[in-house]
Structure 1
């Protein structure tokens, strides 16, 4: 008997999912344990492992499309099995299929198929030209590069700037998450400039003793310093609740990582108890898997403090929106050379600007300032991080 496979809830906050890729096509045999599809949730892209065996008879959501949790995703059953009674009416029109001579033919897609070369299709998508009404000059009316170029030359430029792209699940989650934080948490900002001459020398001395793969980044040192300073100031490692303030015993540092269509915040848990090498190795792994959308939901949850570093983009300083439910977030700017005063003399030194965004419901100005003082001491004399 055929079984309906529904969109799974792959995270505790997931309401809908987008099918990024099907690993099987209609008519293929699937076995229990196979990865049926890759699904994008509001947090990451995950493999969907099937728990039944049979023939893939029906696909209810095409690649790039989304549907809500528990809506029909696919139907798996026996070869040649009649599944018409299992297909929702709203899916029948879109996915009209029939089985003939043991082959499943998608008549709807065949009828509406547009003959277009891969290059022409890529060009049309990039510049926003609709291909449905184009007449191709290639074999059998195939749309080719020349047709797209001619259409572009004649296209009204005012229409080209009106391209729309549907929000991904991740982008919608980011928008909701940050809107809640910005409009519910009264933000204020503390700015500071740190002399990082010793920090640069500290990192160089460590990396001179390590292989290329083992070398630590400035971000690794900052994570450790942030965690050590939170040990001294537990009032910063907190969250606001309706009736109470939550003080966390664990120090879990979230690191904002940029993706093509948004950002993700992998978490280094118990960062205060880990060595620089451990932090560095874990960060490299999590950043890579974040960009490949292979990071697991539990690896981006339960942060108690967040760091956002745009120094690699040449940004001098900036402010960040607090990563709810944290009570603060640290923004890191680029390292710059500038004149500084040392021992009553003007010399050229290296400085880095930081900004601490605080939730004023929990963290008062004096508390936030005290935290920055402790953090500055660690970064200006980083050997103390190891003590």
Structure 2
């Protein structure tokens, strides 16, 4: 006859019952045996398993059982809303990350966003980019699609200055300069260095500025005036394969343009089905300072420039 010791003494159980109880995580001490002299048998274990009898509070794990992962402290679980069995690695928030979180929460809660989406044919712009990069001197700048989109957005803002605005309770401020904030991902969080006077700069200058700003942003070497005070933002996730998204406005600005991936799609041109490289862009707009018609007018101007990119050289 086999026995299993417990704090209360010895529990009589058959070898089969003990094995079944161990495999099912059932505390034999919680069972009433139906065998001879109260011995726990197979039927008792199976009945307990069906009724959900708990496992022993201090049962030792079997040698081949995996060690349980450490659980978060009660205080941590209370702060995060995690359950005791959920584990995590804590990554302290940098000061920049705290500021970003606070500003984005404020923006989403207090700014009445609305969204406008448009598709642009990129083929002409890609062809012009290829030609310009081929003519560039060895070792000098190389234009990216994003550089050209920054210039296109700046030119569109010159055509539709009502979209280059800031909301205040007293007045809508129409900005005299076209300063484009460009979203850059860093280890410390998202930062938006500014291409100043983007409408008056050539493509080569914009490309050089963006490369310099992005490098220093990732190194944490930007001056405050280089990432504070822009009038319009661009966030481009196309390089990650994102087709379409909507970005959160960067206060006190009124608009942010979310740029998706350029991809080949079937389109109809002049009644004929063909393939074109299309890019979806979504404009997030603060409805307090920029009306829907103004946002639509800006996107129409932006699309016209992207699809006829030679105007960027004028």
Does TM, normalized by the shorter one, top 0.5?
A: yes
2: CA distance, partners of 1:364 / 1:309 = 24
For 2:108, the equivalent position in structure 1 comes to 182
Residue 340 of structure 1 deviates from its aligned partner by 1.1
For 1:202, the equivalent position in structure 2 comes to 128
Tell me, what secondary structure is at the counterpart of 2:135? coil
For 1:347, the equivalent position in structure 2 comes to 274
Tell me, what secondary structure is at the counterpart of 1:165? coil
What does the per-residue CA deviation read over 1:313-360, in whole Å, with 9 as the maximum and x for residues that have no partner? 000000000010000000000000111112321111100000000001
For 2:304, the equivalent position in structure 1 comes to 377
For 2:155, the equivalent position in structure 1 comes to 228
For 1:193, the equivalent position in structure 2 comes to 119
**Which runs of structure 2 are paired with 1:28-67 in the superposition (5 Å)?**
none
Tell me, what secondary structure is at the counterpart of 1:336? strand
Tell me, what secondary structure is at the counterpart of 1:214? coil
For 1:246, the equivalent position in structure 2 comes to 173
For 1:258, the equivalent position in structure 2 comes to 185
Tell me, what secondary structure is at the counterpart of 2:260? strand
Does residue 270 (structure 1) correspond to residue 183 (structure 2)? The answer is: no
What does the per-residue CA deviation read over 1:279-338, in whole Å, with 9 as the maximum and x for residues that have no partner? 000110110111111111111111000000000000000000001000000000000011
Tell me, what secondary structure is at the counterpart of 2:170? coil
Residue 157 of structure 1 deviates from its aligned partner by 5.1
| Aligned structure 1 segments of 4 or more residues deviating by more than 4 angstroms | 157-160
Q: Residues 162 and 231 (structure 1 numbering): CA distance in 2 closer, same or farther, change over 3 Å?
A: same
Does residue 218 (structure 1) correspond to residue 123 (structure 2)? The answer is: no
Residue 265 of structure 1 deviates from its aligned partner by 0.4
2: CA distance, partners of 1:379 / 1:287 = 23
Please tell me whether Structure 1 or Structure 2 has the larger radius of gyration of its CA atoms: 2
Residue 164 of structure 1 deviates from its aligned partner by 2.2
**Which runs of structure 2 are paired with 1:1-387 in the superposition (5 Å)?**
154=67, 156=69, 158-159=71-72, 161-210=87-136, 211-387=138-314
2: CA distance, partners of 1:357 / 1:207 = 32
- Contact 2:265/2:275 (8 A) holds in 1: yes
1: CA distance, partners of 2:121 / 2:241 = 17
Q: Residues 294 and 341 (structure 1 numbering): CA distance in 2 closer, same or farther, change over 3 Å?
A: same
Q: Which has the higher helix share?
A: 2
TM-score by length of structure 2 reads: 0.72
1: CA distance, partners of 2:149 / 2:88 = 42
Tell me, what secondary structure is at the counterpart of 1:202? helix
Residue 156 of structure 1 deviates from its aligned partner by 2.2
1: CA distance, partners of 2:206 / 2:297 = 25
Q: How many residues align?
A: 235
2: CA distance, partners of 1:156 / 1:178 = 34
Q: Which has the higher contact order (CA 8 A, sep 6+)?
A: 2
TM-score by length of structure 1 reads: 0.59
What does the per-residue CA deviation read over 1:227-267, in whole Å, with 9 as the maximum and x for residues that have no partner? 01101111111100011111110110000000123111000
* Structure 2: gaps of 5 or more residues: 1-65, 73-85
Q: Which has the higher strand share?
A: 1
